Amino acid sequence: MTNDEIRMTKKIPNPNDERLAASGTVVISSFELRHLFVIRKFVIRHSAVLFLSPFFALADTPRPTLPPEQRTNGWQTLSAVTQLKPLTLDCTARVESVLGRPICTATIVGADGYLLTKASEVPDLDKARVRFADGRTAALREVRREVRLDLVLAQAVGVTGLRAVSFGAAKPLTLGQWMCSTADAGKEPRIGIVSAQRRRIPGDGAALGIRMDEKTPKEVKGVRIIGIASESPAEVAGLQENDVLLTIAGEVVAQYRRVHEIVNKRQPGEIIEVRYLRKDKEESCRVRLASRTKVLQNWEGEDFANGGISLRSDSFPEVLQHDIPLLPADMGGPVATLEGKVVGINIARVDRVTTFALPVEAFWIEAQQWIKADRHPPKAVLVK
């Protein structure tokens, strides 16, 4: 048991310093906030709070509860940002599968169909389409994929007359400043604040979410899986404990180190083919890789993440952190100030309290050049 994923698992049930030391990355080794486990659903301990749920704690004296519509992201509060709709929601589109399953959100950056979205969510734009607020759908043509930024510039084929966002500077934003974004595939507004310092997020490659047997017996040709992380790429793909990995992305693997090397240099969101032996039968599956940090930090599953975490949640040159309640499928959408200036694109849902957005300064100058080059491709020069 040696690869980093292995070391990690041992530590997961009991987060401690060892876990920090071993992983060498930003690893949450935090107290779990006490989760209330209600043991018997309808038991009330009179004069005892031991197993009381927050809701039953008030059994004796009914206490007023703020109705959902008046909460921070309830509709009554959100009515404050209704006037921003033309500048935010109307400049957003939904990227969906050909069957209509929402994949992620796109920010419209050109009236002639140019849009930006989160690259790792859409490895294959041929298998996706875009749906606009007015119900129109269109095929997508990939213009530029920038792995470093996890952005993809695409053009909705044959679409014109779109409303593009208006970008403003993200630099002057300060901690506590309100931001507004779009949820539910660009249908609804959400608000939150700039919640931490702007910074670079280092990356640590991709992972499958498996523990491998360091000492796979010689007679076994391959690497035996001895543990699978909950909700990890491996689990989603159907890999199981005791499966023996034979090839990864076409390459024969005889040693756990090799598996680690092959996977780690790939990008989160990438799909790789895995051939394996289960009960003496050779089988194969396609695994969609995730950020290594995401896998390690959520080994036991994404509890309390409220809707999941983006496959790629790290390795960004610079991010704005905010607390707008969003889902992975909301990534790729715009984040704006209350003046309606778009200051970034949501790029990763990280955990229960964190969403990262790429600030406009990190991508817009480049993206404009990509659009320009695509609109006016260089003419062929005849060499004499």
Residue pair 346/355 in contact by the 8 Å Cβ criterion:
yes
**25 lies in the binding site for another protein (CB under 8 A):** no
State the sign of the Cα–Cα–Cα–Cα dihedral 35, 36, 40, 45. positive
> Is residue 275 within a helix (H) or strand (E), and if so which, with residue range?
strand 271-278
Task: Return d(Cα 330, Cα 186) in angstroms, integer.
Answer: 7
Among 191, 229, 329, 348, binds another protein (CB under 8 A): 191
**193 lies in the binding site for another protein (CB under 8 A):** yes
Distances (CA, A) of 349 to 37, 93, 163: 26, 18, 26
380's tokens: 């062929």
**199 lies in the binding site for another protein (CB under 8 A):** yes
Among 220, 255, 303, 375, binds another protein (CB under 8 A): 303
First to last CA, the chain: 64
> Is residue 4 within a helix (H) or strand (E), and if so which, with residue range?
helix 4-11
46 to 105, contacts with another protein by CB under 8 A?
Answer: 46-50, 52-55, 57-68, 70-73, 76-81, 83
**Environment class of 312 (CB within 10 Å of its CB; exposed 0-12, middle 13-18, buried 19+):** buried
242 to 301, contacts with another protein by CB under 8 A?
Answer: 301
**13 lies in the binding site for another protein (CB under 8 A):** no
**379 lies in the binding site for another protein (CB under 8 A):** no
Q: Which is nearer to another protein, 199 or 221 (CB)?
A: 199
**Least distance from another protein to the Cβ atom of residue 243, Å:** 17
**Least distance from another protein to the Cβ atom of residue 37, Å:** 7
Among 187, 200, 221, 286, binds another protein (CB under 8 A): 200
**Residue tagged 């796979």 (tokens):** 216
Task: Return d(Cα 9, Cα 29) in angstroms, integer.
Answer: 13
Q: Which is nearer to another protein, 66 or 382 (CB)?
A: 66
**344 lies in the binding site for another protein (CB under 8 A):** no
Q: Is 70 helix (H, G, I), strand (E, B) or coil?
A: helix
Residue pair 350/313 in contact by the 8 Å Cβ criterion:
yes
Among 254, 277, 285, 338, binds another protein (CB under 8 A): 338
**Least distance from another protein to the Cβ atom of residue 48, Å:** 5
**Least distance from another protein to the Cβ atom of residue 12, Å:** 12
Q: Which is nearer to another protein, 100 or 317 (CB)?
A: 317
Q: Which is nearer to another protein, 77 or 97 (CB)?
A: 77
**31 lies in the binding site for another protein (CB under 8 A):** yes
Q: Which is nearer to another protein, 282 or 303 (CB)?
A: 303
Question: Nearest to residue 349, comparing CAs of 288, 268, 294?
Answer: 294
Residue pair 180/84 in contact by the 8 Å Cβ criterion:
yes
Give the total of residues touching another protein (CB under 8 A).
Answer: 80
Q: Judged by CB under 8 A, which stretch of 171-179, 248-256, 258-266, 370-378 contacts another protein?
A: 171-179
Distances (CA, A) of 246 to 3, 223, 259, 278: 18, 7, 10, 10
